Amino acid sequence: MKQLVTTEEMQALDQYTMTEVGMGEDVLIERAALAALESLGAGNFDLSNVLVLVGLGNNGADGIALARLLHQLNITVALQFVGNVSKAKPAVKRQLKIAEACGVVRSEKSDFKQASLIIDAIFGTGLNNDLPDGLQKMVKAANHIESTVVALDIPTGINGTTGQVMGAALKAKTTIAFGYEKAGLTKGAGKKTAGQVVVKDIGILAPKDFKFSIKAK
Ligand SMILES: NC(=O)C1=CN([C@@H]2O[C@H](COP(=O)(O)OP(=O)(O)OC[C@H]3O[C@@H](n4cnc5c(N)ncnc54)[C@H](OP(=O)(O)O)[C@@H]3O)[C@@H](O)[C@H]2O)[C@@H](O)CC1
Ligand SMILES: [K+]
């Protein structure tokens, strides 16, 4: 059975798993990164030169943890922030500290064309408005480059509930959805932009009486 969720439902389930059940935020982030690593290993991806684009929310935290795991497998990884790190969520700062302690180096400006694979960890379920103008330009330029993109959870710029493009959206070959597939990846621009969707369990739990707005199929 496949259960789709809206971004609001996913956020509620994340919160329930952390605050009611007691699963730590960093545990979920680690599991998301491990799940992504497993999907990369199972797919036919060129991992010779990986570029991880990282945002300031927990989607970025997943990306940093993944960069660390790749680095520890001796894979060449560049970690590039999109936005000012000083404004990042605490989970991002924690992950960055761990990654740097493990030897991951931040790159200021990467050549997207040189990357064999781009990991999109810029925005996930927290996107609540159109992408900032500068990021829209970057996304549009990246869409013209041949490099393969793998999106973590949701392609950046896609509304996870409606599938609409929020200014611009980064086209992925594969999207690794955490916990549940977001409804927006099954319709309209969201479906086209997400490419192949792989759903990975990361330990998210739902209360017994949780009312999903979309019927499972
Ligand atoms: N929660 C969990 O425990 C888990 C979450 N997980 C992962 O985290 C993802 C969700 O994380 P997230 O909620 O931090 O959202 P994300 O999309 O990374 O960043 C949003 C940030 O950007 C901001 N912002 C929003 N729109 C903007 C705009 N247009 N332009 C500029 N800024 C904008 C917004 O700031 P705000 O406006 O809310 O102040 C916020 O700070 C999820 O997809 C999954 O990958 C998993 O690891 C499992 C555990
Ligand atoms: K993403």
* Model confidence pLDDT, tens digit, residues 116-153: 999 999 999 999 999 999 999 999 999 999 889 999 99
Question: Does residue 133 form part of some domain?
Answer: yes
Pocket probe for ligand 1: among 52, 125, 165, the residue whose CB has the most ligand atoms within 8 Å is 125
Residue 1 has pLDDT above 90, yes or no: no
pLDDT digits 0-9 by tens, 13-57: 999 999 999 999 999 999 999 999 999 999 999 999 999 999 999
pLDDT digits 0-9 by tens, 70-97: 999 999 999 999 999 999 999 999 999 9
List the CATH number of the domain containing 178.
3.40.50.10260
Give residue 120 CA to ligand 2 midpoint distance, Å: 5
Q: What is the predicted pLDDT for the residue at 152?
A: 98
Question: Does residue 77 form part of some domain?
Answer: yes
Question: Does residue 162 form part of some domain?
Answer: yes
Enter the pTM of the model.
0.97
Question: Does residue 20 form part of some domain?
Answer: no
Question: Does residue 3 form part of some domain?
Answer: no
Distance CA 204, CA 120 (A): 21
Structural domain total, the chain: 1
Question: Does residue 174 form part of some domain?
Answer: yes
Lining residues, ligand 1, CB within 6 Å: 14, 18, 25, 28-29, 32, 55-60, 62, 89, 123-132, 152-154, 178
CA distances to 48, 56, 183, 185 from 126, rounded to whole Å, are 30, 10, 15, 15
Tokens of 194: 């997400």
Distance CA 98, CA 73 (A): 16
DSSP-derived secondary structure for 178-211: ESSEEGGGGSHHHHHHH-EEEEE--S----TT--
Kindly state the average pLDDT of the residues 4-9: 98
Question: Does residue 106 form part of some domain?
Answer: yes
201 is in an annotated binding site: no
Distance CA 152, CA 166 (A): 17
Domain range enclosing 169: 25-200
Q: What is the predicted pLDDT for the residue at 111?
A: 85
Residues 6 or more apart whose Cβ sits within 8 Å of residue 60: 54, 81, 88, 89, 92, 95, 121, 122
Question: Does residue 191 form part of some domain?
Answer: yes
Pocket probe for ligand 1: among 128, 161, 166, 185, the residue whose CB has the most ligand atoms within 8 Å is 128
Among the bound ligands, name the one nearest to the CA of residue 151: 2
